[in-house]
A and B are shown apart, each in its own frame.
Chain A
Amino acid sequence: MSKYILHKEDSRHHEYNDWLDSKKTFSFGDYYNPKRIHFGALRVFNDDIVKAQKGFGKHPHDNMEIISIPLEGSLIHQDNLGNEEVIRAGEIQVMSTGSGVFHSEYNHETDTATRFLQIWIYPSALNVTPHYGRLTLKDEWFDHRFGTFVAPVASEKAAMIHQDAYLSMGRFSADETFQYTIQQNGNGAYLYVIDGTVEIDGHVLSAGDALGISETAAFDGRVKSGNATLLVVDVPMNIQL
């Protein structure tokens, strides 16, 4: 029988300052909730809004797979590997921070906020050589189906990370049904509703809600109203920390 963990939008930790409005699904920084540490290998899922030209100054990371998904606006990324890239809505970036990386992320927009999802996944191996990648997403990958754009193996349609984890997105119409198949034995799926309202096994989810689903090989659902955009983070559930 499937196991579910429901994270409603208003259950996220919400904090803001003069440049950042952040909704944190899992414990991070000063926010510590022992019941909200991780979902399998998924450790961080922050929905951040950054004011124009503001952002995260130069800071380090290691041993974490970090995926940034701009939903509105754009980010400018700089790192000590020599990368300087602007990532816009419709594009993603991944950083395998491995043995250590310094980077900064700023809103590249001059007068509007940028909203992006910041997703951290525990790596399957320690101290790998740091790697940066970006990918432009194409709408047709996600129309009426789930398309995978982050995976353990790089392809034309997927950026690579060092974990048996997969990120997929799907866009579905009102009343449309959808099905997602877990991509690897032992993995679970963390489904996040970017837009729309859907129902999965009796759980009604609206924008900002998420459902962790494990101990199943697949699940299906239905769009209840409007068009729906769904993100699935498919991660190993049994991890040694």
Chain B
Amino acid sequence: MAAPAPAKKKVEGVADKVHVWPYLVRIEFLCAILTILALAVWSIMIDAPLEEAANPTKTPNPSKAPWYFLGLQDILVYFDPWFAGVVAPVLIIVGLMLIPYLDVNPKGNGYYTYTERKFAIWVYCFGFLVLWIALIIMGVFLRGPGWNLFMPWQYWDPHKVVALVNVDLPYAFGVREYTTAAWTGFAIVAAYFGLGTGAYFFMERKAIKSVGFLRMFIKIQLLLIMVGIVIKIVLRLGFNIKYIMVTPWINI
């Protein structure tokens, strides 16, 4: 049953619409003054950095991308460049564009609400605040020479010794032969996506007719990839697992 939207508080005798001049323009004007003021003060106080002249023979350690890309640079620890540097950004952009077409919940259109769209808000907040912002903060402040983790109070020692104890997941399971390991890894990845998709469709089987198969399929693939990134981070940091699937062409 479609519950009627709770009636908005209506104040008697107050028009719902107001003139843009002056009520909106004055806010914009004030906002613009404050922004320009803040920008001017900031620019007077803090100089933009200019290091020594570019030198292609002198690689700084660490070499960092601009700060807004450090989340992506950080997932390079967990993924090969073809994913972290190319496929992941493309998936982020395409996934964001698809949001309005995948989220068919008609509620919460044009107002703040948590209760009417808990899942959507959780997914976006997790993706934005954790996978994007937190990884940027980590990349800016905690990644030192050799892209090793340093706590804020630690000296950025370029000679820090970090034991390379990572193994691939099939190896951890005792699979030593290359081809078998590749097939084992492939089976694990395929099972993850297959079972994830299957479980989602089973749980939401009533919605398939109204929401549509394609929409649900794309949605769950994107979610599984997002969760997969988290799983790989946990496996790497917690269990020293490097790759799940190793093939001659791609590693995951």
Q: Do A and B bind each other?
A: no
